[in-house]
C-alpha cells in the first residue's frame, strides 16, 4: 500500500470531478427550476388545506363542506403567494395583483374540475384503486395548473411571450 494514502485509494481516484458548466446547471426561470418551485408551493398548499380542514372541521366543528371550501381557498392564496414570489417572481413584478389572483383562481378552478374528472373516470370507469386514481388526478391537475399559470397568469412580459417557452 502507498504510504501517502491511508485508505488504499490513489489520490487520482479521490480527486473531485470538475465543476458542472454553468449552461448545464438548472437555471432560475428554467422549466425544471420553475416546476420544482411549483411543486413545493403545491405541497405548502396541501399542508395548508389539511391544517385548515383539521382546524375548521375538527376543532371548530364547521360543516365539512364549508370547512373544506375555506381550507381550499386558503391553500389557493398560499400557493398564489409562493408562486408569485418564488416560482414566477421574474414575471410577476409589475403585474396588477388583483388580475393575477383572479386568473390564478380560475386556473385553479379548472384544475380542480380536471382533477375530479380524472379521479372519477379512473376509479369508476377504468376501475383503478381510488388512491391511484387520486394520484392520477393530482398529476393531471398539476400539469394543467403549471402550464396554464406559466402561459396565462404569469406569462412572459416580452412581445409574443405568452407562447414562449423559457
* 68-116 residue pLDDT tens: 889 889 999 999 999 999 999 988 887 889 999 999 999 999 999 998 8
* Separation between Cα atoms, residue 162 and residue 70, nearest integer Å: 32
Q: How far is CA 69 from CA 64, 90, 106, in A?
A: 8, 31, 15
Q: How far is CA 110 from CA 7, 40, 53, 133, 135, in A?
A: 59, 20, 22, 18, 17
pLDDT given at position 28? 57
pLDDT given at position 160? 53
pTM of the model: 0.70
pLDDT at 145 over 50: yes
Using a 10 angstrom Cβ sphere, with 0-12 exposed, 13-18 middle and 19 or more buried, the burial of residue 121 is: middle
pLDDT given at position 166? 45
Mean pLDDT score of the chain: 82
Domain ranges of the chain: 30-156
* Separation between Cα atoms, residue 104 and residue 110, nearest integer Å: 10
pLDDT given at position 95? 83
User: 7-11, 26-30, 42-46, 133-137: which range is least confident on average?
Assistant: 7-11
pLDDT given at position 69? 86
More confident residue, 159 or 63: 63
Amino acid at each position: 500500500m502507498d504510504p501517502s494514502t491511508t485508505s488504499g485509494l490513489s489520490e487520482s481516484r479521490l480527486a473531485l470531478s470538475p465543476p458542472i458548466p454553468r449552461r448545464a446547471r438548472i437555471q432560475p426561470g428554467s422549466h425544471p427550476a420553475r416546476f420544482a418551485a411549483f411543486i413545493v408551493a403545491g405541497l405548502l398548499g396541501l399542508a395548508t388545506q389539511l391544517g385548515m380542514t383539521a382546524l375548521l372541521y375538527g376543532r371548530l366543528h364547521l360543516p365539512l363542506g364549508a370547512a373544506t371550501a375555506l381550507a381550499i381557498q386558503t391553500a389557493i392564496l398560499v400557493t398564489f403567494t409562493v408562486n408569485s414570489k418564488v416560482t414566477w417572481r421574474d414575471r410577476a413584478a409589475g403585474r396588477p395583483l388583483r388580475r393575477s389572483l383572479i386568473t390564478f383562481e380560475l386556473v385553479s378552478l379548472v384544475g380542480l374540475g380536471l382533477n375530479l374528472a380524472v379521479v372519477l373516470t379512473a376509479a369508476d370507469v377504468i376501475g383503478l384503486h381510488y388512491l391511484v386514481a387520486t394520484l392520477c388526478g393530482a398529476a393531471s391537475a398539476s400539469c394543467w395548473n403549471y402550464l396554464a399559470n406559466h402561459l396565462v397568469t404569469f406569462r412572459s412580459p416580452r412581445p409574443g411571450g405568452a407562447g414562449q417557452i423559457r
